[in-house]
Structure 1
């Protein structure tokens, strides 16, 4: 399957969430797609994050994960997803936080402290996000299941990206409404 790292794929609002969102349709085993299954996609992700990631304090240009560290990075991604998905659902636990902190510590020990490393930047992003005073701003898109930060003033943002998931949801409602009207 061919894809590109477009701005929509960085709708999470934080690098850590964008990394977690690299698994599409995570909750549906039949349709689940791991964008990092292709090793070159991880390198492309690092380059695209420089242009599209909401966290602009990235060290001038992220560099990809070295092949020897790929499995540790995937473990970090899964710990990020597990912790923040549970937090967004209101069922976060100290155990999930411990798993996340262990993954972050392992990443920082293994990757060194190179701020240009995608691993280091992702770990730091997860730390900033976990220290956030407003965990209620963390949401799960009802259309695609991605994690995102709701930065709207009244905390009413419903979709990760209005132009993609919001339009799909509205189009679906319109389709079913018209179908029901035609049956009546």
Structure 2
């Protein structure tokens, strides 16, 4: 089983999307290659939740133990996570390309929100009130609750979020573009950006020949 007791911020996932829900969608960075899916087991979902600080160690370990005791329920929770992830990709990819949001993807997000939002409550942080997630539950889908809420917050923000999708031919990475002039095209210049430059150089060389 993957180690789910690691500290928040430590783990195997690349968290460069700029928002929790985009980082979750990016756990499959190249949808043309099934082997690039980083979320193929329930323990990997827990690892993502720990790395992003969604779960405390005790809660993650409790969910890991329950997933072993109830494998069918864990598989159902994993499928719910994959369904939500692909719905988020569909929604934010549509936003990035100024397309209409697919109704089925929005329905999937709303279903996740229907489960998530009843688990929110107000609690004190010093003298201030803030939203908190119920931590005493044992729902195997608990890691999805803050992800669904983050997606709803991003979609309903007063200022439209500058969501972009990587311009790489084989990359489906989503990110918030905070660059000057909103001109960022790549998930990373070190990967997709350099590959695109290399392809352009190759084609120019061939045309010159």
- If the length of structure 2 is used for normalisation, what is the TM-score? 0.64
5 Å-filtered alignment, 1:86-97, equals 86-93=94-101, 95=103, 96-97=105-106
Counterpart of 1:24? 29
Instruction: State the alpha-carbon separation in 1 of the partners of residues 174 and 190 from structure 2.
Output: 16
Distance 1:150 1:106, change over 3 A: same
Q: 5+ residue gaps in structure 2?
A: 1-10, 68-73, 122-132, 137-141
Instruction: State the alpha-carbon separation in 2 of the partners of residues 152 and 177 from structure 1.
Output: 28
Distance 1:47 1:175, change over 3 A: farther
Deviations 1:92-146 (A, max 9, x none): 2372434322222234458993379532221221121111234461111111121
Instruction: State the alpha-carbon separation in 1 of the partners of residues 45 and 88 from structure 2.
Output: 17
Counterpart of 2:52? 49
Alignment counterpart, residue 114 of structure 2, candidates 105, 111, 119: 105
Distance 1:91 1:114, change over 3 A: same
Instruction: State the alpha-carbon separation in 1 of the partners of residues 194 and 12 from structure 2.
Output: 20
Counterpart of 1:130? 155
Structure index of larger Rg:
2
1:13 CA drift (Å)? 1.0
1:142 pairs with 2:167:
yes
* Greater alpha carbon shift after TM alignment, 147-156 vs 89-98: 89-98
The RMSD of aligned alpha carbons is 3.3
How many equivalent residue pairs?
167
1:17 CA drift (Å)? 0.8
- SS of 1:154's partner is helix
Instruction: State the alpha-carbon separation in 2 of the partners of residues 92 and 115 from structure 1.
Output: 36
Distance 1:179 1:43, change over 3 A: farther
- SS of 1:36's partner is coil
1:15 pairs with 2:35:
no
